[in-house]
């Protein structure tokens, strides 16, 4: 067995495995159940799609065709700005919380 795709989550992995099944390539998803072990935290990158070694090149072609047909991921492009905003909000909240605690302890 060869890993042909490293998915962001179990849904993406199963979607691509089903796509490969539709073109006659038997695919298996591994690691998708590990996401439940993390609990409420968002887990990513644990699921992957595997195929037989003899089907590897054709599976990669099908996946490449699928990926080129998808629209650009605007969520990924917005993440650095969202991350910066979250960090700034977190720091501001910590400072305000510290000031309020100091005022209450006086």
Read off the CATH number of the domain in which 33 is found.
Answer: 3.30.70.1530
CA dihedral sign of residues 46, 52, 57, 59: negative
User: Do 59 and 11 share a domain, yes or no?
Assistant: yes
Name the residue range of residue 95's domain: 73-106
Helix residue ranges per DSSP H, the chain: 10-22, 56-69, 74-105
User: Do 58 and 10 share a domain, yes or no?
Assistant: yes
Please tell me the pTM assigned to this model. 0.60
In this prediction, residue 101 has a pLDDT band, given cuts at 50, 70 and 90, of very high
**pLDDT for 70 beyond 90:** no
Give me the number of domains the chain comprises. Answer: 2
User: Do 100 and 64 share a domain, yes or no?
Assistant: no
User: Do 52 and 97 share a domain, yes or no?
Assistant: no
In this prediction, residue 37 has a pLDDT band, given cuts at 50, 70 and 90, of low
What's the mean pLDDT when you consider all of the chain? 84
Going by C-beta distance under 8 Å and a sequence separation of 6 or more, which residues neighbour residue 7?
Answer: 13, 16, 29, 45, 47, 48, 49
Placement of tokens 């993440």 in the chain:
79
- β-strand partners of 30: 48
The whole-number pLDDT of residue 77 equals 57
User: Do 66 and 79 share a domain, yes or no?
Assistant: no
* Cα dist from 95 to 25, 53, 85, 89, 99, whole Å: 56, 56, 15, 10, 6
């Amino acid at each position: 067995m060869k890993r042909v795709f490293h998915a962001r989550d179990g849904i993406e992995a199963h979607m691509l495995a089903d796509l490969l099944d539709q073109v006659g390539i038997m695919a298996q998803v591994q690691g998708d159940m590990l996401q439940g072990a993390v609990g409420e935290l968002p887990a990513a990158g644990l699921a992957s799609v595997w195929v037989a070694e003899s089907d590897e090149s054709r599976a990669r072609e099908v996946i490449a065709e699928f990926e080129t047909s998808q629209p650009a991921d605007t969520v990924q492009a917005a993440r650095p700005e969202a991350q910066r905003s979250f960090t700034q909000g977190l720091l501001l909240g910590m400072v305000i919380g510290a000031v309020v605690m100091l005022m209450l302890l006086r």
